[in-house]
Structure 1
Amino acid sequence: MTREEAIAILEAAGLADDKAFPTLEATIACALHDAPFRDASAVRQLVEASSKRLRERVEKESPDEALTETMAGDFRLNGDLLNGETLHGTDIINVTQSRRGLSALLVIFYLEAARRAGLEAAAVDFPGHVLLRVETPEGPVALDPFSQGRLVLPSELTRRALHAGLTLHVADRLDLLMAPISDRQAVIRLQNIVFARAMTAQAYDLAERSALRRAVLDPCDHRPWLDVAAARERQGILNGAMEAIARAREISDAVEASTAYSLHKIRLRLN
C-alpha cells in the first residue's frame, strides 16, 4: 500500500458514520501512511485468531476475564516497558510482531476482538492513559491493556485521576472517569501521541503526517490543521503551513487568536 492509498482509506473513514467506522483498517492505514509497502496480513490474522479464541472463552468465563486471558494470556499482548517513549508501540504492524505496545494501540486489538466475539466494549480516554470499558452482567468494568489487561478497581481509578491532577469532585465520579469514547476518537487519540512524540524528537515530517491523519479522520475539527501548520513551519515549508492554516480557518466558525498569530508569524518570515 502506498501513502496515497493509505490516506484515501483514512479519508473514506473520516466520512463514515461512527457506527460504521473501520477501526482496524484505519489503524493499519495509519501505520502504512508512515511506512508504506509493508505486509499487514499478520495484523488481521492476529485479530481473527484472538476473536475466535475469545468466543470460546466467553462461553465459560465472564467477559472481562475472557478478554484478559485471551489478549494478555493467550496472545501475549502487553505494555511496552522498554520502548515506552519511542514510536514503536504506536504502530500496529510493529506491535503485532513484538506483542508490546502503548495502551492506546493495544486497546484497538481488545476492541476488535471484543466486538467480533459479541461483547460490548469501548475505549476510555483516561487521563494520561487509555483503558478499556467492558460491559458485564454486574455492570461496566475497566481493564488496563498496558498491564496485562488487569481489572482496574474504582478506588484505583480515583487514585490515578487525582495523581493526574483532576479535582476530587471529578475523580470521585466513575461515570466521568469511565465515559466511553468512539472508535474514531480512539484512533485519533493514538495519532495525538504520535504527533507529540514526533515533535519532541524533532521528527517534523512524521509529526506532519500524523496531524494530517487526524485532520482527515475528523474533517470537522480545525485543530489538526494547526498542528500540520506547526510541523510544516518547523520544516521550513512556509507556504504549506499557510495553506494548512487557511484550511483550519475554513473549518472553524471563529478564527482563534492562535491561528491569527501563527499566520502573522509565517507571513513575517516570508517577507
Structure 2
Amino acid sequence: MDREEAETILTDAGAAGDGEFPLLEAAIACAVHEDPTRDPALVRDLAALGVERLTDRLKRESPEEALAETMAGDLGLSGDLFTLDDPGNADVISVAQRRCGLAVTLGVYYLHVARRCGLTVQGVDFPGHFLLRIETEEGPLALDPFSEGRVVLPSELTRRALHTGLTPNVADRLDRLMAPVSDRAVLMRLQNICYAQASAAGDFARAERAALRRALLDPLDHRPWLDVAAAREGQGALAGALEALQRATTLDGGAALAARAHRERVRLRLN
C-alpha cells in the first residue's frame, strides 16, 4: 500500500456511515499514509491473535477480565510511560512492533478485537484521557487501555474529571463522562494528536499529512482544511495553503470570515 492507496481507503471511510466505519483498516491506512515503507500485516496479525485469545478466555472469564487479560497479558499492550511524545505511540503499526502506545491507539485494537468476539465496547472521549466503555450484565464499565485495560471506578472517573477542570455538577454525571463516541471520532482524536505533536515540533510536512487524514475521514468538517492550510503555510507552500483555505470556506460558511481573512493574508504574501 502506498500513500495514494491509503488516501483512497480514507476517502472511502469518510463516506461510510458511522455504523459501517472500518476502524482498524482506516487506522492502518493512516499509519501507511504517514510511512508507506512498513508492512501493515503486523497489525492484522496482532488483531487476529487477539481475537483468538479472547475467544478462548471468554469461555471462563468475565468480559472485562477476559478483554484486559487478552490485550495486556497475552498481547502485551500497554501505555508508553516513558516516551509519551514519541510519534510512534499514535501509529497502529508502530504499536504492533513496540507493544506500547497512547490510550487511543491501544483502544483501536481493544475495540476491534472485542467486537469480533461479540462484546459491546465503544470509545469514550473522556477529557484528557481516552477510555473504553464495555457493556456487562451489571451495567457499563469504564476500562483504561493505557493502564492494561483495568476497570476505572466511578469515583476515579469523577476525580479525573475534576482534575481536568470540569465543574462538580458535571464531574458527577457518569452518563456524560461515559458517553460513547463513534469510531470515526476515535480515529479523528488520534489524528488530532498527530497534528498537535507535529505542529509543536515544527514538522509541518507531518502536520499536513495528519490534517489531510482528518479532512478525508470527516469530509464535511471545514476545520481540518484550516489546519492543512496552516501546515502548508509553515512549509512555504502558499498556493497550496490558499487552496486549502478555499475548501474550508466552501465547506462551512461559518468559517468563511476567518478563512477569508487568512486567505487574504496569504495572498498578500504571494504578491
TM-score range for the pair, normalised by the shorter chain length? over 0.9
Runs (4 or more) in structure 1 with deviation over 6 Å come to none
Corresponding residue number in structure 2 for 1:144: 144
- CA, structure 1 residues 165+184, in 2 after alignment: closer, same or farther (shift >3 Å)? same
**Aligned-partner Cα distance in 2 for 1:191–1:144:** 20
Corresponding residue number in structure 2 for 1:90: 90
Q: 2:102 aligned with 1:102, yes or no? A: yes
Deviation at 1:61, TM superposition (A): 1.4
**Aligned-partner Cα distance in 2 for 1:232–1:129:** 29
- Report the AA paired with residue 14 of structure 1: G
- Report the AA paired with residue 239 of structure 2: N
Corresponding residue number in structure 2 for 1:160: 160
Q: TM-score, with normalisation over the residues of structure 1?
A: 0.98
Matches within 5 A, 1:9-158: 9-158=9-158
List alignment gaps of at least 5 residues for structure 1: none
**Aligned-partner Cα distance in 1 for 2:22–2:88:** 22
Q: 2:10 aligned with 1:6, yes or no? A: no
**What SS does the aligned partner of 2:132 have?**
strand
What whole-Å deviation, never above 9, does each CA across 1:221-241 have from its counterpart, x for those lacking one? 110000000101111111101
**Aligned-partner Cα distance in 2 for 1:42–1:214:** 24
Q: TM-score, with normalisation over the residues of structure 2?
A: 0.98
Deviation at 1:256, TM superposition (A): 4.5
Q: What CA RMSD, in Å, does the superposition of the two structures yield over aligned residues?
A: 1.0
Deviation at 1:104, TM superposition (A): 1.0
CA contact (8 A) 2:106 2:146 kept: yes
Deviation at 1:219, TM superposition (A): 0.6
Matches within 5 A, 1:225-244: 225-244=225-244
**Aligned-partner Cα distance in 2 for 1:255–1:173:** 33
What whole-Å deviation, never above 9, does each CA across 1:40-71 have from its counterpart, x for those lacking one? 11210110111111111112111111111110
Q: How many residues align?
A: 271
What whole-Å deviation, never above 9, does each CA across 1:115-171 have from its counterpart, x for those lacking one? 000000001111111101000000000010001111101111111111111111111
List alignment gaps of at least 5 residues for structure 2: none
Corresponding residue number in structure 2 for 1:195: 195
**What SS does the aligned partner of 1:126 have?**
coil
**Aligned-partner Cα distance in 2 for 1:170–1:73:** 34
